[in-house]
Structure 1
Amino acid sequence: MSLHTFAPLAVSRSSRSFVFAALFSLTACGGASDPSVPKVQAASTSGQLSEDLVLEDFDKTAIPATVKVNNGAVSLVDSARGDKALLVKLDLKENNSAALVIAPEEPWDWSEFSGFNLAFDVANKGTESVQIDVTMTDKNGDSYTRGMVVPADGVWRTYYAKLHGHDQQDPDSAAKNEFNFSSGLRSNPPTWQSDDVMLHSFWGKKLLDLSGITKISFGSDGSLSNRQYTIDNIRLRANPEMDKNFLTGLLDKYGQNAKVDYEGKIHSDEELRAVVAEELAGLSGKLNEGRSKYSGWKDGPRFKSTGYFRTQKVNGKWALIDPEGYLYFSTGIDIIRLSNSSTITGYDYDQALIPARSDDEVIAEDDQPLNRVNEKAWATRHLVSETRAKMFTWLPDYNDPLGNHYGYRRETQSGPLKHGETFSFYSANLERRYGESYPESYLDTWRKVTVDRMLDWGFTSLGNWADASFYQEERIPFVAFADIIGDFGTLSSGFDFWHPVPDPFDPRFYQRALVAAESVNQQINGSPWCMGVFFDNEQSFGRLESDELHYGIVINALSRDAADTPAKSAFTEILKKKYGSIEALNKAWNKQVASWEAFAAGMDSSISTDAQLEDYASLLFAYGDQYFGTINRAMKSIMPNHLYLGSRLPSWGMPDEIVKAAAKNVDIISYNLYEEGLVPSKWEFLAEIDKPSLIGEFSFGADDQGHFHPGIVISADQKDRGRMFRNYMYSFIDNPYFVGVHMFQYMDSPITGRAYDGENYANGFVSVTDVPYIELVKAAKEVNGSLYKRRYGDVQLRARSASERGSD
């Protein structure tokens, strides 16, 4: 998910990779280009840059040979400051990605410099904001990507990315795919104050090999229209003196940024209650006009009803049919629960007093509710991270009236601590908002208000990871979720972002799938309000940057011993059936395996021939078929009336073979797509598989409300978020294969990061004080209000026409 989002190995959200080479010279700011001038002219004896070192100022008569553009065009233009600048126009409407790339003929060597940053000036005179993902790559092939957005206001701004010094370091116990800094945040606050704009950290290696930087890519992808920007004065600068308190006193008692003020910030309990009263006075909690009991299209044609949700193709479009037979399209919001609202405080307890996780558990650690430790454990509370503890200006005592909002994480995926105490400011704010007339009465009020909001805003369902207590509301449809966890074999894809992938050929996997299905079944209790069930999320099934990552699961399985790896045993039987003799396989794969017995025991599975690639494709499909088929059998044996919604394939991990295997076994294929919307060129395969599809996650975030990280798809401000929400939704509502779109997520992530993985994105529909973002609400009402006529209006017209013909 973003529990999202998107787990990147390569240079961008859509895994683009460009290689260009050109000559590039380094000059001091304002000086002429002269390759004979050594770079140390700009550095002091300490390695600190004494003046800006210009990489390119575009003041020549021609575009430098170092500059290339993929899917776009560049030209020199006059800037408002009297010099030249580079106008970049990107062809993104027809292409999923485009980039300006600057690469020297020989790698830049900046190893003598210390404490410095890359800076450049950008303005956008277009009509829409443009996101730029800046990726730097070194001679070892490592890269680091940061993101920024340029508002469409024509204003020149200076943007920068630190390359060395200050906070550029991973946590001491960094995960293999570490997004966080040592603070535990995905992106830190600036380490010095200025009017310049710091880029947001995305992914990659924070400390590149500065002795050989091979290129800088300014990439954009997943956009629905062409974009432009003007760039100038790409340079290296010395970092100013670091603010040693940049991580101190970050949050006020409401979990808001304590160091800045902004529109909508809450300053007192009285102000919060006034905001609540104003909102509640305007909430009706009623279905939109023309909606059925289950939020289907009551004013549209009616089809066969089964008492449960089902799929059907109607006039060439895939559709959901609600339990009463009305056309239905699922729009919703994810994470309407408290599980992901808490943040690590920097304190821990005696581990002997903390119950350990067991293989029999069915709820993953990041899905656990707020779970305070007991009084005995509280007595052992001790500081383990001064950095984390100093981020908070207020935390309650354990026995304080708001002390019940503490929790605990027994393990984390990444961040500064492997386990520790948590606190939920969002949950505490719910108690402040609604009071407590009986134990946890504020949660009952929150549930009612939340459903009232969803109906008022026109949404037709709750998205994934809604708290199970909402399942009993029977006012709005929902989807359910289960992680299949426990004791079974696993395989590596070569990029195991959240965790290794299951070995679905292991009989224990089916048993754990049954346990997961039974757990969900107990929660939904056969409810017709349940649209369907997701199993697992964002599995690392393979990436497309290389054959080795694409077929990593197969490569890993074949290298292992069939005696303890069921997938290897299954793959061996498939290959024996195809080739018969080991000699035939050796000839096709250019290998020298002595026998099938030796093959089964473990072999060199590196890719040597095209025939081997073809076989690996077949084996990856067999893996996917077993994975999705096993879950489908387990689910349908317990919940035959509910739809299997797949595993929420991330856009970075959806090989063709896996998508086709999913299409064979699931009722609806689900994808998590963090882009601006559906770019047709990337989704042409939908026509081939012809399967109903659903978006499980997307988001847009902005940093104008005190957050340090907006998320991986960035809006210029709240108004821009509303614009992007409309465009994203319409791109899928208008597509004949999609039957639902769910946004991630209901509330902002904590500014100091989610407890499990440090994600601190400002991508919620409501703030930490549970105050809705008005521009998003307006956009949601507009999109959802026209939902059914936009999606199925042609169906209504055809049905009416047929009825009129029948009466003639």
Structure 2
Amino acid sequence: MKHIIAGWVVALVFQATAGENGFALYTFESGDVPAAAAATNAALSVESGALKVVFRPDVQRSGVRFSPAEPWDCKWLGNYHLSARISNPGDDSVYIHCVVESAGGGSVRRAVNIPAGGSGRYYFELAGPGLGIDYGLRDDPPSFTGCGTRMIIKGGKYAADFSRVKSIRFYTERQIDPHTLIFDDIRISESPPGDPNYMTGLVDRFGQAAKIDYPGKIHSEEELRQVALDELRALAVSRPMSDRSTFGGWKEGPWLEATGYFRAEKVGGKWALVDPEGYLFFSSGIANIRMANTSTITGIDFRDDAVRYVDPEDVTPEDSLGIVPPSDAIRKTRYVSSELRHKMFNWLPDYSDPLAKYYGYRRSAHKGPVKHGEVFSFYLANLERRYGEPRPGFAVSKWRDVTIDRMIDWGFTSAGNWVDPEFYQNNRLPYFANGWIIGDFKTVSSGYDYWRPLPDPFDPEFERRAKLTLEVVADEVLGSPWCVGVFVDNEMSWGSMESNRKRYGVVLHALSRAASDCPAKAEFMKLLKAEYPTLGKLNAAWNTELTGWNELEQGVDLYDAEFSEGMLADFSMLSEAFATQYFSIVHDALAGVLPNHMYMGCRLTMWGMTTEVWKAARKYCDVMSYNFYGMGIGPKTWAFLEEVDRPTVIGEFHMGATDSGFFHPGLIHATDQKDRARMWKEYMESVRDNPYFVGAHWFQYIDSPITGRAHDGENYNIGFVRVTDVPYPHLVKAAKEFHCTLYETRYGDVKEAK
């Protein structure tokens, strides 16, 4: 009887909060924090009928999770969404994540920026058209309106059955400052009817959002040419900042030994780069100044397989190739491979149009529904519209000159990674060269191969390919003193510190394979036999019952083993040996052809790095590099740099917004362009003020295509310039303000060279 009454009460409560179009989850009118709410590194309280959440800074995650005793049942709704009223009483915007977990397994993450002093309703689609379907964009335009501000997909687009919702979670990641948000009226509601054509006609002839207007949008070729002319006039009278040396160093600061090339040195307790003339140098730059990532897939392909041929000796990955139009013969085999993508464009040039030269072909894509196909660069087309094309290549040549003029005018001291090799001999702006080691060598998996599996550095083919790659880089650099250093590879999935299995995934994978098929496993066998005179001693240390060395050599599955202290110690040793082999091979290959240029590493990440990896890297890298997307450099998160104690550079970071026509802001969200500029400046200030950092590079120079870059669908507002090559004025202003005091603020207390 008690159970029946309890169930009846629950039913009454549900009916009281449910409505025709959905039901409320939490209104907080009782004045108490719900029992289902659990905080992680956050403080919860209910004030004035709303939930106040104080988020803690400089931690992995800070937030609140709601987990009801029974999952919320949504089966009776049609298309529906989660929403909450969120207020931000603070002076700065707050970027938060929301994860919804299905009772049937799986979860989806979205994110949104809450403006400073703002209050509104924010929604998360749970059931509706297109959810979980990859159209070649990281996120799509909203399919309906009128429900508030839409949260943006974070990570990949995953399908999940949200007919029963197990939990919802709101959190921040590694914030620099504490923030407070107020949550109220969290509910699940039926969605209004959507626009059946929401995925068609997205882009106008300039590559801009076609269905909305916004500040800075170009409406005609005449307007575009006038904007370009106005900027050229301003750049013509611009001069470098007065405190800069020939190479962009601090000529008013202390003078150190001049070697004719860039190098690193610790001065006054701070790491610094030193320019070829001996002046202190801080690398503030912009990465990805090239055309390779400006193209988007058109939905057209060709039946002639010759267009997909790849030379096995090529050293340039597909996503780093420029725009090369297919031949007329190949174009005759044209067909529509994706009707959906082809209908996204209001305009694409006929093959007889002069702008058709900016069609290219992508032989493979990392992500997306179209694995290969025709691409088009609206950015290149807009350059020709801006500057004309009185002779072949004029517009791109003019673009290179204007780009360098801009960088110097804005106060940047260098370019970042992935600058077009055509800039390598400009002799006006320092830069970093780049190489990728690709080829048919053996690989090893860490268990999380985001971009690709790790190369097996013990495979002789890897060493051959490393030498071949760096020889090509050397032929492009030609020993130029303007080249600060060389990045090789990028964001490799070494492992994660989240668990021992993730930390030592490379070792576990290699040990599971036969030594005859895995050079790393063969090397591990040598190291283990040197460590243990007998198999019995290894069994004792590992708590295993291996019957012979041959059993281990053939491969053993230890993923589910109970890791003993001895086993973990050996895993650590093998992991560091693996990484050491990689970094030593790359270092030696670079030193053999460019002995005067610094090795910048492979740009490690927080999600794909272990202690063993940075310990190996610091032995061989002249400068450590990390890609870090966050609010800035927090002292706790980056405390490990004290132990690393090497000059360090941030290889990538960015912030984006949706007020410039984009459906996805980027990896870190800002409220608008003004807020984006504020966030750029605060990030750079946190880097500048850390004694281990010698620079940071924004990613990237040009906005992504709105319909997604061909490589993986990134459609982010992350450029310093738009697809029309028009700079964002708020970012430019922030850059000039920061750079005019950069050196005095960073090194003003360093009065003399040591």
Shift of 1:109: 4.4
Choose the corresponding residue for 1:281, options 193, 211, 233: 233
Shift of 1:193: 2.2
* 1:290 partner letter: D
Shift of 1:374: 0.5
The answer on whether the counterparts of 2:21 and 2:77 sit within 8 Å (CA) in structure 1 is no
Residue of structure 2 in register with 1:715 after alignment: 670
CA distance in 2, matches of 1:487, 1:665: 25
Shift of 1:41: 9.7
The answer on whether the counterparts of 1:477 and 1:530 sit within 8 Å (CA) in structure 2 is yes
Residue of structure 2 in register with 1:3 after alignment: none
Residue of structure 1 in register with 2:128 after alignment: 165
Residue of structure 2 in register with 1:60 after alignment: 30
| Residues 235-277 of structure 1 deviation map (CA, whole Å, 9 limit, x = unaligned) | 1111222211001110000000010001110000111111111
Shift of 1:353: 3.0
* 1:319 partner letter: A
Shift of 1:73: 1.5
The answer on whether the counterparts of 1:248 and 1:390 sit within 8 Å (CA) in structure 2 is yes
CA distance in 2, matches of 1:72, 1:267: 47
Stretches of structure 1 lacking an aligned partner (at least 5 in a row): 1-31, 44-48, 79-83, 171-180, 803-808
Bigger mean CA deviation after superposition, 134-143 or 604-613: 134-143
Find the residue that maps to 2:155 and give its secondary structure: strand
Find the residue that maps to 1:569 and give its secondary structure: helix
Choose the corresponding residue for 1:147, options 103, 106, 111: 111
CA distance in 1, matches of 2:548, 2:598: 45
Q: Is residue 2:379 matched to residue 1:426?
A: yes
The answer on whether the counterparts of 1:142 and 1:204 sit within 8 Å (CA) in structure 2 is no
Find the residue that maps to 2:354 and give its secondary structure: coil
Q: Is residue 2:28 matched to residue 1:76?
A: no
Find the residue that maps to 2:139 and give its secondary structure: coil
Residue of structure 1 in register with 2:3 after alignment: none
Residue of structure 2 in register with 1:90 after alignment: 55
Bigger mean CA deviation after superposition, 575-584 or 629-638: 575-584
Q: Is residue 2:89 matched to residue 1:137?
A: no
Residue of structure 2 in register with 1:794 after alignment: 749
Shift of 1:717: 0.6
CA distance in 2, matches of 1:645, 1:109: 52
CA distance in 1, matches of 2:8, 2:725: 55
Bigger mean CA deviation after superposition, 139-148 or 306-315: 139-148
Shift of 1:479: 0.1
The answer on whether the counterparts of 2:132 and 2:160 sit within 8 Å (CA) in structure 1 is no
Shift of 1:105: 3.0
Choose the corresponding residue for 2:626, options 671, 677, 686: 671
Shift of 1:211: 5.9
Q: Is residue 2:364 matched to residue 1:401?
A: no
| Number of residue pairs matched by the alignment | 745
Bigger mean CA deviation after superposition, 580-589 or 340-349: 580-589
**Residue pairs, 1:400-799, within 5 angstroms:** 400-606=353-559, 607-611=561-565, 612-796=567-751, 798=752
Shift of 1:76: 1.7
* 2:64 partner letter: L
Find the residue that maps to 1:101 and give its secondary structure: strand
* 2:209 partner letter: N
| Residues 59-115 of structure 1 deviation map (CA, whole Å, 9 limit, x = unaligned) | 11311111122222122222xxxxx211211121x5343112111234444455442
CA distance in 1, matches of 2:614, 2:107: 28
* 1:279 partner letter: E
The answer on whether the counterparts of 1:649 and 1:672 sit within 8 Å (CA) in structure 2 is yes
CA distance in 1, matches of 2:242, 2:302: 53
| Residues 417-465 of structure 1 deviation map (CA, whole Å, 9 limit, x = unaligned) | 0000000001100000000111010111101100000000000001111
Q: Is residue 2:223 matched to residue 1:271?
A: yes
Q: Is residue 2:169 matched to residue 1:217?
A: yes
Change (3 A) 1:247 1:102: same
Q: Is residue 2:159 matched to residue 1:189?
A: no
| Residues 579-616 of structure 1 deviation map (CA, whole Å, 9 limit, x = unaligned) | 22222222222222211111111112224223222221
Residue of structure 2 in register with 1:8 after alignment: none
Choose the corresponding residue for 2:207, options 230, 240, 255: 255
Name the TM-score, length of structure 2 as normaliser.
Answer: 0.96
Q: Is residue 2:308 matched to residue 1:343?
A: no
* 1:760 partner letter: N
Find the residue that maps to 2:414 and give its secondary structure: coil
CA distance in 2, matches of 1:37, 1:485: 63
| Percent pairwise identity | 46
Bigger mean CA deviation after superposition, 158-167 or 451-460: 158-167
Bigger mean CA deviation after superposition, 230-239 or 426-435: 230-239
CA distance in 2, matches of 1:471, 1:126: 45
CA distance in 2, matches of 1:221, 1:42: 32
CA distance in 1, matches of 2:737, 2:297: 38
Choose the corresponding residue for 1:298, options 251, 266, 275: 251
Shift of 1:123: 1.4
CA distance in 1, matches of 2:105, 2:254: 57
CA distance in 1, matches of 2:444, 2:95: 36
Find the residue that maps to 1:282 and give its secondary structure: helix
Find the residue that maps to 1:273 and give its secondary structure: helix
The answer on whether the counterparts of 2:543 and 2:564 sit within 8 Å (CA) in structure 1 is no
* 1:684 partner letter: A
CA distance in 1, matches of 2:147, 2:386: 35
The answer on whether the counterparts of 1:96 and 1:681 sit within 8 Å (CA) in structure 2 is no
Find the residue that maps to 2:245 and give its secondary structure: coil
CA distance in 2, matches of 1:446, 1:617: 49
Residue of structure 1 in register with 2:4 after alignment: none
* 2:43 partner letter: A
Stretches of structure 2 lacking an aligned partner (at least 5 in a row): 1-6
Find the residue that maps to 1:402 and give its secondary structure: helix
The answer on whether the counterparts of 1:340 and 1:367 sit within 8 Å (CA) in structure 2 is yes
* 2:364 partner letter: E
* 2:192 partner letter: P
| Residues 120-148 of structure 1 deviation map (CA, whole Å, 9 limit, x = unaligned) | 11111111000110012345763321110
Q: Is residue 2:56 matched to residue 1:103?
A: no
Shift of 1:333: 0.3
CA distance in 2, matches of 1:359, 1:34: 70
CA distance in 2, matches of 1:109, 1:271: 54
CA RMSD of aligned residues (A): 1.8
* 2:194 partner letter: M
Find the residue that maps to 1:203 and give its secondary structure: coil
| Moved segments of 4+, more than 4 Å | 37-43, 111-114
| Residues 611-664 of structure 1 deviation map (CA, whole Å, 9 limit, x = unaligned) | 222221221111111111111111111111100000011221111111111111
The answer on whether the counterparts of 1:42 and 1:50 sit within 8 Å (CA) in structure 2 is no
* 2:306 partner letter: L
Residue of structure 2 in register with 1:16 after alignment: none
* 2:641 partner letter: L
